[in-house]
Amino acid sequence: MSTPQLVVHRDKELMAVAAAARLITRIVDAQSTRGSASVVLTGGRNGNAVLAALASSPARDAVDWSRLDLWWGDERFLPEGDPERNATQARGELLDAVPLDPARVHPMPASDGPDGDNPEAAAERYAAELAEAAGPRGHDGVPAFDVLLLGVGPDTHVASLFPEHPGVRERSLTVVGVRGAPKPPPVRISLTLPAIRAAREVWLLAAGEDKAEAVALALSEPGEIQAPASGAYGRQRTLWLLDRSAAAKLPPQLYPPATA
């Protein structure tokens, strides 16, 4: 478990640009060290803003996109190509604009896929794909992701792990089907906290006044069942990337020495 580090930016636009620059650097470093990199994407307004900033960054060509593995932390269990799917939005913001190797892009199954409308079967399929990619050097059945991105919801949910829901209590599975989510659509697929914690680095994104209470609660160590974001951390690093509005209710002692 790594101690959370906070970076507070002036506004959400700067946060997205800075996060994109930070991600490019991390990917390039991983590719230089190991030949490839592995990143888990998140959806939502902040996750998509980071992808859009990455797409427009003049440094994006520093990444060898053909040696990048992409996974997702959660997905709305909707038909392939549905505009509400995280994978669809990611393609529109970035993925269709860069030369990725299609075999290294791993979207979560859709509701019109081979598992039909069974999210548990689809979750099991994704877990098997993760385990195969992990191989003997993986970590508890998932690859050793270099960076795993998570948006923080106003209720402190991350991925599709919601407070008090069964998924946030899961300890043996790496991927779960989610039914009855309080945020539409109600049926989803999500990585579990054990899978999230396999990442070398976990970056949590929050911007806007509507996230301020969630950020303050999650960083007050309330327990992951009540505040799932508090249970999301990386093996080597846990980074909270915030704007000033999202950080507004944090106690002063939690701010870093300097803000960006």
* pLDDT tens readout for residues 131-147: 999 987 767 789 999 99
Distances (CA, A) of 52 to 45, 164, 214: 10, 33, 25
Regions of the chain short of the pLDDT cut 50? 256-260
The residue ranges of every structural domain in the chain are 4-254
Q: What pLDDT sits at residue 140?
A: 78
Q: What pLDDT sits at residue 251?
A: 85
Q: What pLDDT sits at residue 138?
A: 66
User: Would you say 54 and 60 are in contact if contact means Cβ atoms under 8 Å apart?
Assistant: yes
* Paired tokens of 70: 């992409």
Q: Residue 186: how many CB atoms within 10 A of its CB?
A: 12
Angle, alpha carbons 224-249-20 (nearest 5°): 75
* Paired tokens of 213: 């209470």
Distances (CA, A) of 46 to 69, 74, 79, 85, 211: 21, 15, 23, 15, 11
Residue 170 half-sphere exposure toward CB, CA atoms < 13 A = 22
Q: What pLDDT sits at residue 152?
A: 98
CATH 3.40.640.10 fits 4-254, yes or no: no
Residue 108 half-sphere exposure toward CB, CA atoms < 13 A = 35
The residues, ordered by sequence, that sit 6+ positions from 57 with a Cβ below 8 Å of its Cβ are 17, 20, 21, 24
pTM value is 0.95
